[in-house]
Structure 1
Amino acid sequence: MTQACILIVEDEPLVREVLAAVLADDAYRLEFATCGEEALTIATELRPDLILLDIMMPGMNGYEVCRRIRLAPDLAPIPILMLTALDDAASRLEGINAGADDFLSKPFDRAELCARVRTIVRLNRYRKLIEEKERFLRLAEMLPHGIVLLDADGRIRFANPALAGLLRLSRVEDLLGQDFMVLLAPGHDGLVKACIDDLREDATGFRDVEAMLKRSDDSSFPVAIDGVRYPAMSEPLIQLVVRDTTEQREYLAALEREAYQQRSAGAAYLATVQRMEGRSRQLLETQEFERRMLARELHDEIGQQLGALKLHLRVLGRGTDNAQQVSRLAECLEIVDATIGAIRNRALELRPSMLDDFGLQAALDWYCSRQAERSGASIEVVLDGLEERPLPDVETACFRIVQEAVNNALRHGESHHIEIGLSSLGQQIALRVQDDGRGFIAPSVLATTARGAGFGISSMRERAELLGGNFSITSTPGVGTLVEAMIPLS
């Protein structure tokens, strides 16, 4: 938990020194301002937990500073304790009208000052926790996808309302403690269990594993499951994101029926294919948008909630001498720290912000250095002739193709060295991903992909071809794999 920040606004150096000495024993972070303007600037920047505000100052007095803070929406909730040599009722009434929360007359009693500061800081932090908790609950209720955390035995430790809704359960509590595998329809638990078992050994995670879940009425529905492992916990936890794909499957099935009818009639076949490609591009764009929004929600909302929870756990730890409670609070803090790190990592994996902010090279450098650190493999990135940033669609396609190729090389190919090259050839980008992994029999795998399996290769090919480019993959058992794509810049 971070230290509580107190802003002391006092123009007299001696009084500032006394206040600093009095509050030193409580380990606050103390910041100082010598005038009203400086106080407003520091308050805007730091958002302190409490402002100790002198009334009698040259220039802008304490009443005016207080009024301006209360008029600023971002600063208005900050508690203000006025320190004043004025002890008459009119002065206190003016302070109340300006928005002060409490008063302390000079000369002040040191014990009383410390007690009032501790009380105000504690109440302010409790208020913040309540507000953050309410925001978190609203976010959890609004998320459209199911979120679940599994312990080492595969039992559900946390589930959000969306997952209960997908399963047609009236209470989230009905899921807690259950083995997640019992929610899967017969014949669909093997692949999911294998992916989760692999995830306990390999932290790179998995995406879009298709399965069928059982509802409370024994009906089944299709889902796609993403998984990620928390990197540092007192016990291993697995996070799964469960997405209902019923509408997506129905939509794709409708497109297939429409295309079949067009082929059977021998009319407008090309128009149908073009329409399907347009829809596929729209699906990819929608997927990237959803990933960007979910990453932002994870980082901004849930991350802040957990940060507030961490602060209050530390406050609770300082308020007890019970060794068992202190030990349990320490374990809770460890879990919160690991969860914050995992959410930050998951948000970056969903949609790295540097891809939008700084471009393809920055995003690839970040992703590859991260994968190299996780796997121990050597990953080299070389960009040649890309002085200007490509269009956003081209950057996204290149990044996702590299991401899928590197993930396959590490997870399935057990590669030790990967070379990634992007270069500008006229009006096209040439992309190459070469690894020294186990390789595979390319014709067999590509034939399987053509029949609808192997989503990763299909996804890479589709991203390239939807932008008017081409894609190829070459592999030999024991030699490695080469992924190549040519994508137009415009």
Structure 2
Amino acid sequence: MASKTQVVNREQWSGTAVARTAMVDIRGGFYRLRREIEALAGVDVAERSLYAAGWEGARSVIGAMIANGELTQDEDGFRRAIERYIRAGYGQLTITRLDLAAARATITCPDAIESWAFQQNGIHSERPVCAYSAGALAAIMSKIIGRDDVACDELTCVARGDDVCTFKITPAAQSRHFRNMSKIPDVAQYLERGTSLLEEKTREAEVLEQYRLLTENAIDIIFSLDALGVITFISKRVESLLGYKPQDLIGRPVTTLLGKEGSMVALEHLERTLAVPHYATTYELAVPHVNGNTVYLSISVTALVKDGVVIGQQGIARDITPQVTLRQEVARRTQELRLSEARRIEMHDYVTLVTRVLEEERKRVARELHDDTAQALVALVRNLDSLMLNVDKPSDRKKVEEIRTLAENILKSVRRFSRDLRPSLLDDLGLVPAVEWLTEDLSQQSGVDARLDVVGVPRRLQPDVELSLFRIAQEALSNVRRHSHASRATVRLSFADKKVRLLVRDNGTGFVPNERPADLSSARGLGLRGMRERAELIGGSFCITSEPGKGTTIEVVAPV
């Protein structure tokens, strides 16, 4: 009859469950090896043989760890060696007493590997069964303190109904059962077989422990599905990323995790994986968090194969929410820029149209002033000249002369106004003669020493380019006359293969260009704004440099 201690408290060794599964094959392996030795040579030989196997195996492992500097030969080294055997699946070993100087220690374990194997096979023993563990513990003490005369007895054992297995390490002379280990029968073939099996299981346990640590500490979700789309494994990362506990998802359909739409995509890829064993792909999904937020995952999947048969799918899901959010923000801003650019182009076209209409209207008004108003004034002056010949009275002659002078002044103003609106020089001869007329007019009207310098080979440009550059030069020289109080002004036109450069510089009072950039109430502010807009209309750049007391320089570079 199985005792109550046969019910294993799995919470006590949950951290080494995977290692335990690999360490002991309950249908054979360690348990079967012991039973075979017992059948062939008796219980005593089996215990001593397995004790020797544990002794030799542990001395080899602990010796290597000491040589490599992984363990120190002190109390800390002893405890770390015990922890290493716990991780390897030997059970939850607890040190209750330790005295290295006296080569003594007491260690308890509720689930030592041999007693655990007996329980799993439903076998109750009348005597302790953990000889291999006892040999290994004796070897650990031996290597740590550097003495060979060390032994270990198992005082209580779970396999015979005790609550825990209790191991007592003492000097060999004080051991109850393993005082003299020299008389061990020749069971080398069993020792070799048992040692090889345990070493293999130990390696498997260590690999599985590393895999467990890898999956638990991975920044991505590691998962597997069976052929029906049921979650068979999922790592702890799912809890911090999506809010689900792994144990709540294992055994449930993938729709629980991904939702309806995401599951349709995932199951489609699962079907392809089952149909094409070498199928591998990566796709993105928007997955709902338990709190209602959306988490974006990049999921990479491949086939899960066992014995050459595809039994499901395995994969890694990486959180790409920051990247997707960034992409969405970039797309949103790109769309805004496109709309802004469309509005800018629309406004540019509108301003261009208005400017052209305005220039056409100026041209029309200038032509009418020249052809109609100016001609009428010329006729008036000539009539006044004829009238003066027929006037004898001095007072009347004087009045006629005053009227004639007024008419001439009006005629000059009309002609000037006509030229300002649209100089015929620009249409007939081009930009250079038109700008030269502007400098000469400034010198004549304001006394400013103005001149034009031409660099490169002058040539005719597109009408829009010539008109815009002329208007910019006209506005700049107008500012020189009205605001700068300058004595000199220079206009330079530089012609290159693919661009033309206009520079207007004066030695006037100067100003701070960005002092009030949005002020359109002043003539200067409006003029500067107009010059910039005209430069932009022809695809050019506009730059103004000025400083109080150091004059002003305006530069425009336009493609041709």
Q: TM-score category by the smaller chain?
A: 0.3 to 0.5
TM-score if structure 1 supplies the norm length? 0.44
After TM superposition, the score normalised by the length of structure 2 is 0.38
